[in-house]
Amino acid sequence: MSSCNSSIPQPLTFVLAGIPGLESSHGWFSVPFFLVFVITVIGNATILCIIRVEKSLHEPMFLLLAMLSVVDLSLVSVTVPRMLAIFWMNAKEISFNACLTQMFFIPSFYVMESGILLAMAFDRFVAIWHPLRYTTILANNMLVKMALAVLARAVAVLTPAPILAKRLERFQTHVIAYSYCAYMAVVQIACGDISDHIVYGLMVIVASVGFDLCFISLSYGLILHAVFRIPSWEARGKALSTCGSHFCVIALFYSPVVFSVLAQILGYHMVPHLQIIIDNLYFLVPPMINPLIYGARTKQMREWVLRILHCRGD
């Protein structure tokens, strides 16, 4: 129960604090944020161009990777420019409706990315367990259905967020101690009983990241079971190498979430600015690293990148 001795009505605009406690360092923080944005855009745009041009990459694994790149580009596009505006121009004000829009789209793209990683785990499962039926099972119509399911779940799970936030009538302050409009950050400055909002926030985590991580773990358990039944060590290594890039991306994507949840379970309370920095890592680091991982570990993409660099060198 939030107590408000001097509450204010629902404001027309909120003020985003950026990284509270480190306002004097906003200029320094803008440098890595800007570099992350540039590398992410270049990396994912390169992945999309290579997949579009290289006919040999028009297979399920790489088409799913293209979906991942589109979502990554969308995610950084709705987060980083606003953060840079705060860091560079002190543009901290955001209208209530714009806040609700950001509250929907940022976590939606995150949930979509988690769903695509689950689809990619299923792709690796089919490739290992049913190699002869791989292209039949994961035909284009199946990929379209998977993409629509990922989109539908994100919309269904996140649509209540702005609706519930819109119903909040009184607030302790109009300052959001965050660098973007996070649902729980807005709820925490609201007055009155917020228990329903907390339950909803937990349900979103369970229905998206929790669900996906559970089935990804199941997929990899079955993959390992199949691989270690192969008598040849060379064949085992070859089979596991096809999953290497995806496993690295999964570890990178879910590690901050697992770390944050474990910290709360163990009763470790991080200082606010550290928590905000880690939360930003959820959205910024995976989109930047994903194309680097796949570019380094995929022969066709390495060859294309080297070809592009060679042409520019000439």
What residue segments make up the domains of the chain, in order of their start? 8-311
What pLDDT sits at residue 100? 94
Sign of CA dihedral 213, 33, 179, 74: negative
Closest C-alpha among 244, 107, 239 to residue 182: 107
Q: Give the predicted TM-score (pTM) of the model.
A: 0.90
DSSP states of 8-27: EEPPSEEEE-SSTT-GGGHH
Q: Which two tokens stand for residue 178?
A: 């965050």
What pLDDT sits at residue 240? 77
Per-residue pLDDT of the chain (314 residues; tens, 9 = 90+): 445 777 788 888 999 988 887 777 788 888 988 999 999 999 999 899 888 888 888 889 889 999 999 999 999 999 899 889 988 888 889 999 999 999 999 999 999 999 999 999 999 999 888 888 998 999 999 999 999 999 999 999 999 999 999 998 889 888 888 888 989 889 988 888 888 898 998 899 889 989 999 999 999 999 888 888 878 787 777 777 778 788 888 888 888 777 776 665 565 666 777 778 777 777 888 899 888 888 777 777 777 777 766 665 55
Q: Which two tokens stand for residue 311?
A: 């042409």
Please tell me the CATH code under which domain 8-311 is placed: 1.20.1070.10
